[in-house]
Structure 1
Amino acid sequence: MDASAAELTRLFQEMDSGSQDAREAMLAAVYGQLRLIAAARLSHESPGRTLQATELVHEAWLRLGGPEGGGIGWRNRRHFFAAAATAMRRILIEHARQRATLKRGSGHEALSIESILDLSEAPASERILALDAALKSLEREAPEAHQVVMLRFFTGLSVAECAEALDSSERTVMRHWTFAKAWLANDLENE
Structure 2
Amino acid sequence: MTRLLNALKRGEELDAQAHDELFTRVYDALHRIARHQRARWKGNETLNATALVHEAYIKLLGTGAGYENRSHFLAVASRAMRHLLISYAQRQASQKRGNGEPDLPLDEALLIPQQRGEDLLALDEALERLKDKDPRAAQVVECRVFGGLSADETADALGIARRTVSRDWSAACAWLYGELRQDLTTGVS
TM tier, shorter chain? 0.7 to 0.9
Q: Which amino acid aligns with 1:115?
A: A
Q: Say yes or no: does 1:103 pair with 2:96.
A: yes
Q: Distance in 1 between matches of 2:58 and 2:94?
A: 25
**1:41, 1:156 within 8 Å by CA — same for their partners in 2?**
yes
Q: Distance in 2 between matches of 1:128 and 1:111?
A: 9
**2:89, 2:117 within 8 Å by CA — same for their partners in 1?**
yes
Q: TM-score, normalised by structure 1?
A: 0.82
Q: Which amino acid aligns with 2:162?
A: E
Query: How many residues matched?
Result: 178
**2:127, 2:138 within 8 Å by CA — same for their partners in 1?**
yes
**1:14, 1:22 within 8 Å by CA — same for their partners in 2?**
no
Q: Say yes or no: does 1:40 pair with 2:36.
A: yes
| Deviation for aligned residue 1:40 | 2.6
Q: Distance in 2 between matches of 1:129 and 1:162?
A: 23
Aligned pairs for 1:38-187 (under 5 A) are 38-46=34-42, 49-65=45-61, 69=62, 71-105=64-98, 106=100, 108-112=103-107, 114-116=108-110, 118=111, 121-187=113-179
| Deviation for aligned residue 1:39 | 1.4
Deviations 1:40-87 (A, max 9, x none): 32135447622210000001111112xxx4743223334322321121
Q: Which runs of 5+ in 2 are unaligned?
A: 184-189
Identity among equivalent pairs (%):
40
Q: Distance in 1 between matches of 2:115 and 2:171?
A: 21
Change (3 A) 1:45 1:71: closer
Greater RCO structure (CA 8 Å; 6+ sep): 2
Q: Say yes or no: does 1:18 pair with 2:13.
A: yes
Q: Distance in 2 between matches of 1:59 and 1:95?
A: 12
- Structure richer in helix, relative to its length: 2
Q: Which runs of 5+ in 1 are unaligned?
A: 1-6
Q: TM-score, normalised by structure 2?
A: 0.82
**1:17, 1:71 within 8 Å by CA — same for their partners in 2?**
no
Q: Distance in 1 between matches of 2:19 and 2:171?
A: 37
Q: CA RMSD in A?
A: 2.2
Q: Distance in 2 between matches of 1:47 and 1:93?
A: 13
| Deviation for aligned residue 1:170 | 1.9
**2:138, 2:172 within 8 Å by CA — same for their partners in 1?**
yes
